[in-house]
Amino acid sequence: MTTQNLLVELFVEELPPKALNKLGNAFAGVLAEQLKAQGLAAADAVVSAFASPRRLAAHVTGVLTQAADKAVQQKLMPVSVGLDASGNATPALLKKLQALGADVSDSAAALAALKRQPDGKAEALFYDSLGKGATLATGLQKALDEALAKLPIPKVMQYQLETDCELPGWSSVNFVRPAHSLIALHGSTVVPVKALGLTAGNSTQGHRFEAKVPTVVLPHADRYAEVLKSDGAVIASFAERRAEIVRQLNAAAAQVGGGVKPIEDEALLDEVTALVERPNVLTCQFEKEFLDVPQECLILTMKANQKYFPLIDAAGKLTNRFLVVSNITPDDASVVIGGNERVVRPRLADAKFFFDQDRKKTLESRVEGLSKVVYHNKLGTQGERMARVCAIAQAIGQQLGGDLLAKQAAQAARLAKTDLLTDMVGEFPELQGIMGGYYARHDGLSAEIAEAIEDHYKPRFAGDELPRNNVGVVVALADKLETLVGMFGIGNLPSGDKDPFALRRHALGVIRMLIEKNLTIDLSALLALSVPVFGDKISDARGPLTAFIYDRLAGGLREQGFSAQEVEAVLALQPQRLSDVAKRLTAVRAFAALPESSALAAANKRIGNILKKADEVDAHVNTALLKEDAEVALYAAMGKLVPESTAQFEAGDYTASLQTLAALHGPVDAFFDDVMVNAEAMDLRLNRQGLLKSLHVAMNRVADLSCLAS
């Protein structure tokens, strides 16, 4: 059996750019996976994916013309059906064997070749045979069908194909875009497979405008990228095309000089890579007067609407130059440059118009308009929501910074949503908050208020920065808490991967601000002051919401490298000061490294089980009832170590607090070896339970140490 490298290409009309890379990887991945599963390709076969705006392709190394034969075991029937009372083969068994191609001329020999094996409660007969390996034509057809069926297509379209038969007619095809040709080359040999009404060949089309030949013919599977590039003017590899765009962007920026560089945007880079087959980066410019508009507006309109790369100077300021990734390379690029400059000018003019018009009204004058905008049918208007956020922000500000912070937070919260009513945010919703900050400065508001309005949506995504000042932190907390409490209060919870109100992100934002800003406020206090502002619009869902927040916190801590045991031990106590959680985890990790930790964790678990089975236990000890030497010794050790540990705990030195208690290892072990806790005498039993209760309380201030028990 010979091996050759395999190339499969599906040539189509322009594919969805935001999905192209994913489609290319999926097509190549499933195709290769299926070939390997059928034994046509080795497990270590190298798979290369290709994806351009008009093609999906895969190159797989070392593909066989036919897979090796393999042993196949097939269940035939229960022994009771296949054999008669004398143990001879029944007609049903012989007929089954004959259908499988077995020689039944000697029934005894045929029966002797079968295996009897348990099958559930009974025995069954099994037939071993050598299965013929799949041919490449058959196996590739199956693999191709599977690859197309499993493509993560964002939206399928239906189109018609003329039927290839004597009778005229049309057949329907469902695919992401109309397909025009199919290549399947095993080395230099065409594999006769079909897909989407197409029969495989060895030719495709190149660049729409710059291909050297109308039809690109591939002589060999290994020359796909080379021939397509030379004859078709197409860089087939997504990764290679992306790297070429980056190279040209940086080269063009260097040619402009002055330390400028193209804006960094991975999503934009991926999308542009999916829009061109042979990139050509050109430098364009616009009038400097547009730079009076906030640069976020100009950058967004250039990126979102035109797919341009704005150039930023060394100070991070937008310049009036931008880069275009063209799909053509004309001898005279001035026409392409001029065309792009003409296209972007009206966009920038619109942004300038919106900015100028918006500044004619103050943010304060827009507050009343919030009452005309519906936020949620169960939670009222944006005006009602604003009032709730104001109340929550004022209460948090009062607790964290007194009257001044409360007043500033209430003012910022009152104005934070007003930019939703501006023309600029109406056109570019992504700028909400950002434009509010600009308009607040124009209205003469303080820097603290303007920054708070701008930052109150932060963090907007994982890894995003937090609000810059205390006012912004308070308003951001209030805004996220209002959303969380309100949505949980009406039962609008996330399910599966659906989270339309981004409650998971809001919860993580609350967690990050409490921890990273080291805020001295309890989580329970935050929820308690947030619920009443809704009146009778919601039910009190603090229980489920608290569990939701701790669940998000647990996931985040595990991602940071803390073990599941460590996280469970700390969060089992639901510490209300989230800013303390990191210190508690560090203390637990240090405690777990001590030689005494394992025994103490097991003892702590044992104590917990004893106390669960007992009635309400009072953490009180009558020294007159301490009869055994071991319980006297434990009480004495606790009298010395627990106060020391408690003082360390109250001082915030959780590591020292736990390490101090580690010295109880010996007395605790001796207590359980020598003392019967559930003594027959009730007074002794209650006293010993009280001693254990006191120990349990002391040991579990930092974390639930029983979670560390194996």
Question: Does residue 567 lie within any of the structural domains?
Answer: no
Question: Does residue 381 lie within any of the structural domains?
Answer: no
Give the pLDDT of residue 1.
62
User: Amino acid identity of 354?
Assistant: F
Token pair, residue 502, equals 């981004």
Compute the average pLDDT of residues 135-162: 90
- Model confidence over 243-256: pLDDT tens digits? 999 999 999 999 99
Among residues 81, 112, 131, which one ends one of the domains?
131
646 and 671: one domain? yes
Question: Does residue 385 lie within any of the structural domains?
Answer: no
437 and 498: one domain? yes
Give the pLDDT of residue 149.
93
pTM of the model: 0.81
Among residues 185, 205, 230, which one ends one of the domains?
230
640 and 656: one domain? yes
443 and 535: one domain? yes
Question: Does residue 277 lie within any of the structural domains?
Answer: yes
Question: Does residue 375 lie within any of the structural domains?
Answer: no
Q: How confident is the model at residue 114 (pLDDT cuts 50, 70, 90)?
A: confident
Cα angle, residue 271 at apex, residues 269 and 276 outer, rounded to 5°: 95
Highest mean pLDDT among 124-128, 288-292, 666-670: 288-292
Given a cut of 90, whether residue 186 has pLDDT beyond it is yes
505 and 406: one domain? yes
User: Residues in the chain, how many?
Assistant: 710
Give the pLDDT of residue 87.
83
Compute the average pLDDT of residues 546-562: 95
Compute the average pLDDT of residues 494-502: 88
35 and 157: one domain? yes
Give the pLDDT of residue 125.
86
Question: Does residue 568 lie within any of the structural domains?
Answer: no
Given a cut of 90, whether residue 607 has pLDDT beyond it is no
Looking at 76-130, list the stretches that DSSP marks H as alpha helix, in order from N- to C-terminal side: 79-82, 91-99, 107-112
- Please indicate whether residue 539 or residue 133 has the higher confidence score (pLDDT): 539
Q: Which residues pair with 8 in a beta bridge?
A: 58, 184
Question: Does residue 474 lie within any of the structural domains?
Answer: yes
Neighbours of 35 (CB within 10 A): 30
617 and 693: one domain? yes
Token pair, residue 558, equals 């595990």
- Indicate the pairing of strand 157-162 with strand 203-204: unpaired
Q: How confident is the model at residue 126 (pLDDT cuts 50, 70, 90)?
A: confident
Give the pLDDT of residue 156.
86
DSSP for 464-484, written as a single string: PPPPSSHHHHHHHHHHHHHHH
Q: What CA–CA distances, in Å, run from 294 to 310, 352, 364, 427, 442?
A: 14, 9, 21, 14, 12
Given a cut of 60, whether residue 698 has pLDDT beyond it is yes
24 and 126: one domain? no
Q: What is the CATH number of the domain that holds 32?
A: 3.30.70
242 and 349: one domain? yes
598 and 677: one domain? yes
Domain count, the chain: 5
Among residues 533, 561, 589, which one ends one of the domains?
561
Termini Cα distance of the chain: 55
249 and 335: one domain? yes
Question: Does residue 692 lie within any of the structural domains?
Answer: yes
Q: How confident is the model at residue 162 (pLDDT cuts 50, 70, 90)?
A: low
- Model confidence over 195-247: pLDDT tens digits? 999 999 999 999 999 999 999 999 999 999 999 999 999 999 999 999 999 99
Given a cut of 70, whether residue 169 has pLDDT beyond it is no
pLDDT cut 90: percent of the chain above it: 74
- Model confidence over 62-99: pLDDT tens digits? 999 988 877 777 888 888 888 888 888 888 888 888 88
Give the pLDDT of residue 639.
92
Q: What is the CATH number of the domain that holds 627?
A: 1.10.730
Residues 468 and 443: beta-carbon distance below 8 Å: no
535 and 602: one domain? no
Given a cut of 60, whether residue 372 has pLDDT beyond it is yes
Q: How confident is the model at residue 587 (pLDDT cuts 50, 70, 90)?
A: very high
Cα angle, residue 568 at apex, residues 567 and 570 outer, rounded to 5°: 70
Report how far residue 217's alpha carbon sits from residue 222's, in angstroms, rounded to the nearest whole number: 13
Q: Containing domain of residue 314, as a range? A: 238-358
Q: How confident is the model at residue 361 (pLDDT cuts 50, 70, 90)?
A: very high
